[in-house]
Amino acid sequence: MYAQLPGLKVVIPSRPRRARALLVASIRDPDPVVFLEPKRVYRSLREEVPDEEDLFPIGEAEVVRPGRHLTLITYGAMLQDCLQAAEQVEREDQVSIEVIDLLTIVPMDTRTLVASVQKTGRCVVVHEAPRSCGIAAEIIARINEECLLYLHAPVARVTGYDIPYPFFGREHAYLPNVPRILDAIRRTLEF
């Protein structure tokens, strides 16, 4: 993946407003930036984008939903599923989930991730790429390096399966979904 190439910055927006802000930031950045666009977000999500420039710096994650009991880290198309899972678990289990949208894969905003996990003590990482050698593994490694003594449970991950990506019409069986995210959240909270 592009994240492993030294010297490249890698961004992946999760919604229209951030897409515009990150695209402008990518164009203005003096370094090469790879701008990844999750196709699933194209027509599935509508959001008001203001006429004036809405700048969001490369290298910063965004706490989209504050919480106290568990940190849910994601990026790209998985943000909406994570928000839906966080709302459902709060409604059903009275648990407060902090959701972080990574936005920039490289350079990763480790500071925001660490601060959140130190606060909550629990973490689940969600992405749609295969499990092996994915971004989740890097996020978990950084959390373990910085937060090991703060963790109340092992960090969990919800990812695509280690199989070739399926053809159109079968992606939903491959991609993480709300039930799988809920299962990981509840297992982590019960540890």
CATH code that applies to domain 62-190 = 3.40.50.920
Task: Provide the edge-to-edge strand list for the sheet that holds 70-74.
Answer: 62-65, 97-101, 70-74, 123-130, 156-160
Beta pairing, strands 9-11 & 33-35: parallel
Q: Where are the domains of the chain?
A: 62-190
Alpha-carbon torsion 177, 178, 183, 189, what sign?
A: positive
User: Tens digits of per-residue pLDDT, 123-170?
Assistant: 999 999 999 998 999 999 999 999 999 999 999 999 999 998 888 888
Residue 16: partners with Cβ closer than 8 Å, 6 or more residues away: 41, 45, 46, 47, 49
CA dist., res. 106 & res. 148, Å (int): 23
Parts of the chain with a pLDDT under 70:
1, 41-45, 47, 49-50
Question: DSSP letters along 153-167, please?
Answer: SPPEEEEE-SSPPPP
pTM: 0.93
